[in-house]
Structure 1
Amino acid sequence: MHWLTPRPEGLFCTPGDFYIDPLHPVSRGVISHAHADHARPYHQDVFTTPETLAIMRTRMGEDRAGTHQHEIAYHERFRLGDVTLWLAPAGHVLGSAQIVMEYEGQRAVVSGDYKRSPDPTCQPFELVPCDLFVTEATFALPVFRHPPPQHEIAKLLHDVALFPERTHVIGCYALGKCQRIIALLRQGGFNGPIWLHGALKPVCDLYQRFGIELGDLRSATGATKAELRGGIVLAPPGAIADRWARRLPDPVVCLASGWMQVRQRAKARGVELPLIISDHSDWDELLQTCEETGAAEIWVTHGREEALIHALAQRGIKGRALRLVGYGDEDDDTPAEIQAETVS
């Protein structure tokens, strides 16, 4: 599709004169979601969902979230240049969106990060038929087939019951994974207090302001060892291996990530109880989505591009690797200012 072009700043739409998830400050950016590798500061005009803008303001400050901030509700059509756009739910985190663009009778959809499995803390993924689909490929290898998240939560709760004197500390990033784990714990029947590292609280508060109920949340930083014994503590991944975690009584170190499917990763990080809970689509979901869009061409970005392109070719679908540089994975989301808090 000639009117979409990869540039160092990100994917550029020529007739609309805007970038999607630009990596450097630009005059106009359409943002898929608020994770730090997709939502960068200091753009001039920013177009995204109200939830994403609220998270951006919370995490980076009002002045850094964009000079002119435009809140776009899901399915609300708007125009930039000669292009008509609208945002469809991506199912990744609160406010996450696919960017749908229509120009000269063609429709292109940029997925951003997305998942197909149910998540009580955000709008579910919505399939949008299109001519061109630009998909992420974080877990685009056949080895990545994520189990139901309820299975992983049941495994965690069983371990909590088995070791009532130990504190279970779960490494999870601040936006999306933390709130999803809390909601899954509540669905699994855990109604007690959940203790939070200070870096996780602002986004949890924001989720609750948007009507996502998370129950009894308490600060782990000021809690006594007696209060934390037998409890569940959530913290950024960097904090679970840091001196911050030494205050916890005999901790069981857990990490919630799609990468926990790889045992070597869990072992290398000293994880005793790996939890395979991902906010990205797995191998089967990626292939399913690419086929169901009906797109004649699939562009693949920030992930295992070659494997997915090869699998699509076997299905008669043309694929292209965009090789955009600068997008991370789900364990690398925490901004520098939040990473600094993990050593406090």
Structure 2
Amino acid sequence: MKPQDLICPKPDGLYCPPGDFYIDPVRPVDRAVITHGHADHARAGHGVVAATPETLAIMAERYGDDFAGRRQPVAYGEAFTHNGVEVGLVPAGHVLGSAQAVIRWKGMTIVVSGDYKRRRDPTCPAFEPVPCDVFVTEATFGLPVFRHPDDRGEVAALLKSVEQFPERAHIVGAYALGKAQRVIRLLREAGWDRTIHVHGAMDRLNRLYGRHGVDLGLLAPATTGTKKDFEGAIIVAPPSALADRWSRRFPDPVDCFASGWMRVRARARQRGVELPLIISDHADWDELTATLDELRPGEVWITHGREEALERWCELQGIPARALRLVGYDEEEGE
């Protein structure tokens, strides 16, 4: 049996022929396994959706309760069998509820990682390596230039700037699902116990994180109060808000942006970011290669991102690899 007999790429996404289901399909299908709640992986309109309870809650929050014909919650460490194919979910360390799909059939194991990272995240369980015949990986930051620093150091730089410029507001651009809550928790762990002001677009997901046990501390809308009230304040907002009229209501704001792409200074300059914060929810180059070195799978399949460099690294390590070049996954999503 070849791995392609169990999982193969199709225009709608990764398809399992014996199980007759897709993993993170880009269009509505009859049966889908969803790795996490970002919109490029979790779409509405499927017949049956199997995912962690947290991911199902995120999808309901974003798309409404009727986002699928039926929901099939699968907790971490649990598995179910469909048409003789076993499907389990284990943590991916990406965002709340994110999971790797572990597919087993006739003695073969394929792990579809979705998006993942290896470093600690106070808002979700850590990535769990699973021995497998084929490991399906992303390569969003699959170039050696992408080596992300310790996120605690990036948060320390933010707090130092707040201390240096107490008369200014600091607006942190962060994606509404995952990145925003992680930045807030990192600030709390660094000792920032003051109110953090948040854009209205963050409110529902912040509350959802709270319901799932992630304590974000005291939050307040960034729409009340005078300009002077926001002196020395930290505000978390979607990245698009940094260039919006919305940001002009704050006193001489320092535009910050929390993203792995801030490693590329040209991107920071293009966006007009004054304080880049290199905080990523994806694996960097060292995490990608360390994961593959740890797992040593029989094959590596690369879904999207910088496939060529990672494919070449695998070749040099004697690990067969192929780039699937799947379309429909946004490398900016979550970053």
TM-score range, shorter chain: over 0.9
1:124-273 matches, cutoff 5 A: 124-273=126-275
Unaligned segments of structure 1, at least 5 residues: 335-344
Shifted more, 236-245 versus 255-264: the winner is 236-245
Q: Distance in 1 between matches of 2:244 and 2:220?
A: 20
The answer as to 2:52 corresponding to 1:49 is: yes
Q: Distance in 2 between matches of 1:45 and 1:146?
A: 37
When the two structures are aligned, how many residues end up with a matched partner?
332
Q: Distance in 1 between matches of 2:264 and 2:74?
A: 38
The Cα shift of 1:332 comes to: 3.6
Identity %: 58
Residue matched to 1:18: 21
Residue matched to 1:337: none
Letter in 1 for 2:174: C
Shifted more, 268-277 versus 286-295: the winner is 286-295
Letter in 2 for 1:137: A
Q: Distance in 1 between matches of 2:243 and 2:333?
A: 15
The Cα shift of 1:228 comes to: 1.2
The answer as to 2:328 corresponding to 1:326 is: yes
The Cα shift of 1:312 comes to: 0.8
Q: Distance in 1 between matches of 2:84 and 2:308?
A: 33
1:60-75 matches, cutoff 5 A: 60-64=63-67, 66-75=68-77
Give the TM-score, by structure 1 length: 0.95
1:283-294 matches, cutoff 5 A: 283-294=285-296
Q: Distance in 2 between matches of 1:180 and 1:10?
A: 29
The Cα shift of 1:104 comes to: 0.8
Q: Deviations over 1:185-217 (max 9, x none)?
A: 000010000000000111000000011101000
Q: Distance in 2 between matches of 1:246 and 1:302?
A: 37
Runs of 4+ in 1 over 6 A off after TM superposition: none
Letter in 2 for 1:253: D
Letter in 2 for 1:118: R
| Residue pair 1:36, 1:333 contacting (<8 A) in 2 also | no
Quick one: which of 298, 301, 319 aligns to 1:299? 301
Q: Deviations over 1:160-196 (max 9, x none)?
A: 0000000000100000000000000000010000000
| Residue pair 1:119, 1:180 contacting (<8 A) in 2 also | yes
Aligned-residue CA RMSD in angstroms? 0.9
Q: Distance in 1 between matches of 2:236 and 2:193?
A: 15
The Cα shift of 1:60 comes to: 1.1
Shifted more, 15-24 versus 289-298: the winner is 289-298
Q: Distance in 1 between matches of 2:138 and 2:151?
A: 21
Letter in 2 for 1:194: I
Residue matched to 1:339: none
Letter in 2 for 1:308: L
Q: Deviations over 1:255-304 (max 9, x none)?
A: 00000000000000000000000000000110111121120100001100
Q: Deviations over 1:54-85 (max 9, x none)?
A: 01101111112x11011110111101212111
Q: Distance in 1 between matches of 2:183 and 2:32?
A: 31
Q: Distance in 2 between matches of 1:79 and 1:223?
A: 54
Q: Distance in 2 between matches of 1:272 and 1:293?
A: 39
| Residue pair 1:33, 1:93 contacting (<8 A) in 2 also | yes
Quick one: which of 106, 109, 119 aligns to 2:108? 106
Q: Distance in 2 between matches of 1:129 and 1:242?
A: 46
| Residue pair 2:281, 2:334 contacting (<8 A) in 1 also | no
3-state SS of paired residue (2:110) = strand
| Residue pair 1:21, 1:31 contacting (<8 A) in 2 also | yes
Letter in 2 for 1:197: H
| Residue pair 1:89, 1:126 contacting (<8 A) in 2 also | yes
3-state SS of paired residue (2:325) = coil
Unaligned segments of structure 2, at least 5 residues: none
